[in-house]
A and B are shown apart, each in its own frame.
Chain A
């Protein structure tokens, strides 16, 4: 299987689906000649032309709204928001419009819209270009939230998202764009709402997503040398959330650490813990559930500060050891 990068996997999904289905088109800022702020749509303008690689002015609320209108008529628009932070400009269209139409129109409208958004820190882009806002999005009924961590998942989940009749927020962590992995060249899908065990283990479950999957795996592999066997469960979708997979894993290991880059307070780790504590898995817990999240701060600029604001491998390792030792 060819090894390609995460951003190539996303491009491949869009490319192949646009070849397969003429209803699919891409819309957003600087996605044409520039190739998108992160180069994800590089080359697509030449292949598909300006009508289907439609560059927009800097008008996020209205080009997301445009996606909704096209979706209502049966097209399959993909809208790229240059930075996830700018999603905040578009929340009316996402939350009040796209996510509610199927329900408030009694099931008559469908909004098959994909909104792609690069999120996360690590690029020195500071407070307004580095956020992880997926918790806000998963709080909106009617919206699906995908947070793929590998090139394989990115392609398969994007194909699922484009074919899904619901609006899907598709969160791409910027630091993942250059990561590589094996990706089938042909058509395949990874369903939304299905978690994936990225590393099997028996001593402790880490529930995580996105870039934190990579960090958790690195730590887990290191600790394996000491005989500590950590299971890394990648949620892959935050909504729908694969509760069964979380419950099953915690039932097996009896210990839970949730790791996410987003700010801690009211972050989605709390939701995972609520799922576990309200389930049969609670009886299997033999240690307090713990969460490791971003600091409750804006993302700072300076390198050391930025690093301190989000969980690092050493933080994950420290938490795992604390849970296993019962010392917090």
Chain B
């Protein structure tokens, strides 16, 4: 299977990928925006301001930003429960996300969905899913609709975790997507744990992506914390898909810093492991260092991006807190269209 080489210099690479300085800085900005959103979510929870649960993606930002950069606005996103980052990277309004997170009437889903079910159909975000593997087959119908309604070269981009790759829907979907040559990009975010279950204990043969071989689908395994590698692989896959060749599976190997959800006490992994990823493999640090070394951004300017990201999130919290709660008398609305 194709392997992506990663030996050239950073400067050579950005030239080859045709990425402008402006785009690169924007990618860093978006990663900060996601990171600060996740930190803010964690803080709000610690402050007792969050009613429900959440699944934070801090540490996985390069997957969200790298893949979203390969997407056109016509493309459809089918998201996971750990989906804040993908949603932000696809251009979501942070205010409306935060309002939804705090259960407000003017949140993306009017406070009915919360963190796990953020959706925005106007931007082709078909929603995050609380059932592991539950959203994967929706990509089949989206792909069929793109083919049958002749929606140009749009594609369905489906996010799911290492855990979901052990659901039957993953395998069924791979098979049908390949049979029907659907315009579908499948991104397995392997963050090493399905809740507490180490991927190596859950999966008989690694890497996960090699399973695509059985379905005749091209597959890649990439360092999911290497932003430009994720982007480059996604871009190659997108070109293949848009040309009508059928689906592609990319496994992005990454790591989540926070626990699975708010109840997680991290009993299944060591502090040292988490620290090692944070210190040595962090996708934001890594990309920032590359940009600074290549003199695309200064340290000060990068710090400023981080600060702005924090400010945007602080403003979003203020917006959300000033927003009304849903009226309890409306509890039965929206059951039927």
Contact = CB atoms under 8 A, between A and B. Distances in A.
Interface of A: 23, 25, 51-52, 54, 56-57, 59, 61-75, 77, 92-93, 96-97, 101-110, 141-142, 144, 165-166
B334 A107 contact: yes
Nearest to B145: A73
A68 B119 CA distance: 15
B168 interface: yes
B335 A69 contact: no
Interface in B91-140: 107-113, 117, 119-121, 126-127, 129-131, 134-140
Contacts of A105: 108-109, 112-113, 117, 119, 121, 127
Given A52-B148, A63-B172, A96-B134, 9 more contacts: A56-B176, A59-B172, A74-B145, A97-B131, A102-B334, A104-B117, A106-B111, A109-B121, A109-B126
B71 interface: no
26 contacts: A51-B148, A52-B148, A57-B172, A57-B176, A61-B168, A61-B172, A62-B168, A62-B176, A65-B137, A69-B78, A69-B139, A69-B156, A70-B142, A72-B141, A73-B146, A73-B151, A93-B137, A96-B130, A101-B127, A104-B112, A104-B127, A105-B127, A106-B111, A106-B334, A107-B110, A142-B335
A108 B119 contact: yes
A57 B168 CA distance: 13
B173 interface: yes
Contacts of B127: 101, 104-105, 109
Contact of A71 (B141, B143, B149): B141
Contacts of A108: 109, 119-121
B144 interface: yes
Interface string B279-291: 0000000000000
Contact of B337 (A72, A75, A102): A102
A217 B126 CA distance: 47
A144 B335 CA distance: 11
Nearest to A23: B149
A109 B125 CA distance: 11
A92 B132 CA distance: 10
Contacts of A63: 137, 140, 172, 176
Contacts of B111: 106
B34 to A, nearest CB: 21
Contacts, number: 149
Contacts of A110: 337
Contacts of A25: 148
Contacts of B137: 61-66, 68-69, 93
A318 B141 CA distance: 50
Q: Which of A61, A73, A102, A110 has the most CB of B within 10 A?
A: A73
A144 B176 CA distance: 28
Find the residue from B76, B176, B336 having the highest chain A CB count within 10 A.
B336
Contacts of B8: none
A62 B174 CA distance: 10
Interface in B76-92: 76, 78
Contacts of A69: 78, 126, 137-145, 156
B179 interface: yes
B175 interface: yes
Contacts of A107: 110, 333-334, 337
B210 interface: no
Given A59-B172, A97-B134, A73 B139 contact: no
Contact of A65 (B109, B138, B145, B333): B138
B141 A103 contact: no
Interface centre among A62, A93, A108, A165 (most CB of B within 10 A): A62
B211 to A, nearest CB: 15
Nearest to A240: B336
B177 to A, nearest CB: 9
